[in-house]
Amino acid sequence: MVEFKQQKVEEFYDIADELGSVSGGELFDFLAQKESLSEEEATRFIKQILEGVNYLHARKIAHFDLKPENIMLLDKTIAMPHIKLIDFGLAHTIEDGVEFKNIFGTPEFVAPEIVNYEPLGLAADMWSIGVITYILLSGASPFLGENKQETLSNITAVNYEFDEEFFSHTSELAKDFIRKLLVKDTRKRLSIQEALRHPWITTLQSKEETKLHGTKRTAVRQLKTKRLKEYTMKSHSSMPPNNTYVNFERFAQVVQDLSSAENEFSTLAMNYDSLQEDVEALISIYNEKETWYKEENENVRHELSQLRYEYRKVESMKRNLHYDISSVESGLGSLSGKYAELQSRYDSMTQELSEDLQLIQDLVDGFHGGDEGYCGGNFASVFTRDLNDSFMDLLNGSCSQDLLEGLKIQITDSQM
C-alpha cells in the first residue's frame, strides 16, 4: 500500500489510469530479447519514464523505488510499446516545510541522501533515472559492488565511470545526461523538467550520423542487448521475481474499496454531525425544562411552607377556640347552677311570701270585721300602715321591685 495520506489515494488511482494497465511484462526483459537496440530507441523509452515521473512530481509525489523491475510495458507486440511505472509501495507526498527521512529502496538504485539518512525529496527519483539510463545504455550497473555494503559505499562516494568497453559508441549527450543526474548535491541534480529539456531527450541524431556509423552500430547493438540480457538474468537470479504487475488490478480494486469506504465514512460523519446537533438540541431543551422545574419546585416549596404555617396557625386558633368553648361551657354550667339555686330560692321565698301575704290578708280581713270592738277605725288604720311599712322593708331586702310593686298594689287595694 502507498504510504501517504488518505486523500491522496484517489489521486494515485487517477495516476494508474493515466499510465494505463499492465500486460507486456518488464521493459528490460523486452529489450533483452531484442536482437538490436539503438540509442534512439533507448532515448524514447527514457523519455517515457521521464514523462511518467513528471506526472508524479507535478503532484509533489516521489516514487522512491524506480528500478527496471518497476517499469512495465503496456503491449510488447508493437515495435515501440508504451511503458508504465508500477509499485507505489514506497511512494510519499513531499510537503513544503515538512522534513521526511527514511532508509528504503533497492540498494543498487537508491540516492546518496537515502543512504546517509538525509532529508528526502523528488530529486531521489532523478538519481534512480540516471542509474536506469546507465544500465539501459551499457548493460552494466554503475555502483553495483560485491556486496550491499560495497554498493552503498560506491553510491555515497559517487564512484562510477563510463567504461570504454561499455560506452565506446554512446553519445556524449547521453553521457552528459547521466552525469547531470548522478550528482550527490540534490540542488545541482537535474529536476524532472530540466531532464525533459535536456538535448539528449529533445533531439535525435541525424540520419547522416546514423548512415555513417551504420555498420559499427549493428555490432554495438548486439553487444548492448547481450549485456542487457546478462544483466537482466543476473538481476532476476539475485532478486525475488516482481509480480507487482500481476496484482495491479487487485491494487486498483483496493483503491476503489478505499474510496467507497471513504464516501461511507463521509456519510457517517455527516450523520454523526446531524445526530450531534439533535443531541445538543435535546440537551438544551432538557436544561430549559430542568431550570423551569427547579423554579416551579422552589415556588411549590414556598407555597407548601406557607400552607404549613397557615395550617399551624389554624390549629393554634382551633385549640384556643376549644379552650374558650370549654371555658364558656364551664361558666355556663356554673351560671346554670347559680340560676337554679336562685330560682329555687325565688320559688321558696315566693311561696313563703304568698303564705305570709295570705296570713296578713286574713288578719286584715279580721281587723275589718272587728272594727266596732275597738276604738273606732283609728286602730285598724294605724295597724295597717305600720304593717305595710314593715312588709315593704322586708320585701325591699329580699324580692324584686316588680314583686314589691305588686304586693304594694295588692295591699293598697285591700286597704281601700
Under the banding of pLDDT at 50, 70 and 90, the label for residue 42 is confident
Under the banding of pLDDT at 50, 70 and 90, the label for residue 244 is very low
pLDDT of residue 387: 60
| CA-closest candidate to residue 136, choices 21, 246, 48, 210 | 48
Lookup: cell for 13: 488511482
pLDDT of residue 180: 98
How confident is the model over 103-125, as a mean pLDDT? 93
| CA-closest candidate to residue 176, choices 198, 157, 202 | 198
The answer to whether the CB of 87 falls within 8 A of the CB of 65 is yes
pLDDT of residue 401: 52
Higher per-residue pLDDT: 413 or 323 = 323
Under the banding of pLDDT at 50, 70 and 90, the label for residue 37 is confident
Under the banding of pLDDT at 50, 70 and 90, the label for residue 250 is low
pLDDT of residue 226: 58
The residues with which 169 forms a beta bridge, in sequence order, are none
Under the banding of pLDDT at 50, 70 and 90, the label for residue 231 is low
| CA-closest candidate to residue 125, choices 137, 109, 102 | 109
Higher per-residue pLDDT: 205 or 118 = 118
| CA-closest candidate to residue 126, choices 79, 59, 56, 72 | 56
How confident is the model over 90-96, as a mean pLDDT? 93
In CATH, the architecture of 6-246 is Orthogonal Bundle (1.10)
Q: Determine whether 114 is exposed, middle or buried from the number of CB atoms within 10 Å of its CB (0-12, 13-18, 19+).
A: buried
Residue 265 scores a pLDDT above 70:
yes
pLDDT (tens digit per residue) in 133-150: 999 898 889 999 999 999
Under the banding of pLDDT at 50, 70 and 90, the label for residue 204 is low
pLDDT (tens digit per residue) in 364-379: 887 766 554 444 445 4
Report the 3 state secondary structure along 350-407: HHHHHHHHHHHHHHHHHHHHCHHHCCCCHHHHHHHHHHHHHHHHHHHHHCCHHHHHHH
In angstroms, the CA 286 to CA 273 distance is: 20
Q: Which of 38-47, 106-115, 141-150, 211-220 has the lowest mean pLDDT?
A: 211-220
Higher per-residue pLDDT: 274 or 405 = 274
Most confident of 50-54, 103-107, 392-396: 50-54
Phi (first) and psi of residue 205, to 5 degrees: -65, 145
pLDDT of residue 414: 46
The answer to whether the CB of 64 falls within 8 A of the CB of 92 is yes
The DSSP H or E segment spanning 29 is helix 27-33
Phi (first) and psi of residue 290, to 5 degrees: -65, -45
DSSP at 69: G
Told to judge if 75 belongs to the known catalytic residues of this protein, a careful annotator would answer no
Catalytic residue among 14, 17, 29, 65: 65
Residues 47, 53, 54: CA angle, nearest 5 degrees: 85
How confident is the model over 36-47, as a mean pLDDT? 85
Under the banding of pLDDT at 50, 70 and 90, the label for residue 169 is confident
pTM for the model stands at: 0.52
In angstroms, the CA 233 to CA 32 distance is: 9
For the chain, give the mean pLDDT.
77
Please report, for the chain, how many H helices and E strands are present, in that order: 15, 4
| Residue ranges covered by each domain of the chain | 6-246, 247-349, 370-416
| CA-closest candidate to residue 182, choices 161, 213, 211, 166 | 161
Helix extents (H) in 62-171: 112-115, 123-138, 148-156, 164-167
